[in-house]
Chain A
Amino acid sequence: DAGVIQSPRHEVTEMGQEVTLRCKPISGHNSLFWYRQTMMRGLELLIYFNNNVPIDDSGMPEDRFSAKMPNASFSTLKIQPSEPRDSAVYFCASSLGAGGPETQYFGPGTRLLVL
């Protein structure tokens, strides 16, 4: 299995630009998570999908952030417009659980720098 795949691995953009991060979960997994990691705040859950439906988006910082999961094998996290404080490493993780999310498998992350 290739594991969770994220693209791009690195993104450098200017303030105000739109940024789209992509994730392909492990085949067969029914839960998908987007996390943001910074030195100041650690690992923060942004949004959680189960069976392609957003279940908890309480961690999404503000309206500039949006996430979609059009099918079981693809998800995007979009920031529009981006700001320097959005600079962080963004992780996607997937899991399989009948009664709820079990072990999470993380992707390699996207390192975002907003200038």
Chain B
Amino acid sequence: GENVEQHPSTLSVQEGDSAVIKCTYSDSASNYFPWYKQELGKGPQLIIDIRSNVGEKKDQRIAVTLNKTAKHFSLHITETQPEDSAVYFCAARGGSYIPTFGRGTSLIVHP
């Protein structure tokens, strides 16, 4: 089955800096890669996703890149703000149609 590794587990940045979270996956058949943000006491919420026929996707301060050859994808947050503080999860969906989640990255943005 699919295996997703996510790094780092904790990321601390100053407000205004950029943050990058990286994930690798094992199933070359994976074709859908969503990113979720989980705030304290809430369920994960989709913030951006990318499909295997696209190399990069941007939505305001958030961007995701995908390297299918290397089987890794990354989340980039620019001009971080305190409200970006949360746990971020990557996921990969392969042939089973069921997404496999990474272990999560706790992002802390210091004012």
Interface residue A103 (Cβ < 8 Å from any Cβ of B): yes
A100 in contact with B43 given A42-B103, A43-B89, A43-B104 (CB within 8 Å)? no
Q: Which residues of A contact B104 (CB under 8 A)?
A: 42-43
Query: Could you tell me if A91 and B103 are in contact, using CB atoms closer than 8 angstroms?
Result: no
CA distance A22 to B42 in the complex (A): 16
Give the total of B residues in contact with A, Cβ under 8 Å.
Answer: 20
**Among B42, B46, B96, B103, which residue has its beta carbon within 8 angstroms of that of A104?**
B46
CA distance A42 to B46 in the complex (A): 17
Query: Could you tell me if A107 and B43 are in contact, using CB atoms closer than 8 angstroms?
Result: yes
CA distance A107 to B45 in the complex (A): 9
A3 vs chain B, min Cβ distance (A): 9
CB-contacts of B43-60 with A (<8 A): 43-46, 49
Interface residue A74 (Cβ < 8 Å from any Cβ of B): no
In the complex, what residue of chain B is closest to A91 when comparing beta carbons? B43
B55 vs chain A, min Cβ distance (A): 20
CA distance A33 to B97 in the complex (A): 12
Query: Could you tell me if B44 and A106 are in contact, using CB atoms closer than 8 angstroms?
Result: yes
CA distance A105 to B43 in the complex (A): 9
**Among B41, B46, B102, B103, which residue has its beta carbon within 8 angstroms of that of A103?**
B46
A56 in contact with B98 given A42-B104, A101-B93, A103-B34 (CB within 8 Å)? yes
Q: Which residues of B contact A33 (CB under 8 A)?
A: 98
Q: Which residues of A contact B34 (CB under 8 A)?
A: 103-104
Query: Could you tell me if A42 and B97 are in contact, using CB atoms closer than 8 angstroms?
Result: no
Interface residue A54 (Cβ < 8 Å from any Cβ of B): no
Chain B 80-111, CB-CB to A under 8 Å as 1, else 0, gives 00000000010001001111011110000000
Query: Could you tell me if A43 and B101 are in contact, using CB atoms closer than 8 angstroms?
Result: yes
CA distance A45 to B102 in the complex (A): 12
Interface residue A14 (Cβ < 8 Å from any Cβ of B): no
Query: Could you tell me if A106 and B97 are in contact, using CB atoms closer than 8 angstroms?
Result: no
CA distance A102 to B98 in the complex (A): 9
A97 vs chain B, min Cβ distance (A): 7
What residues of chain B have their CB less than 8 Å away from a CB belonging to chain A? 32, 34, 36, 41-46, 49, 89, 93, 96-99, 101-104
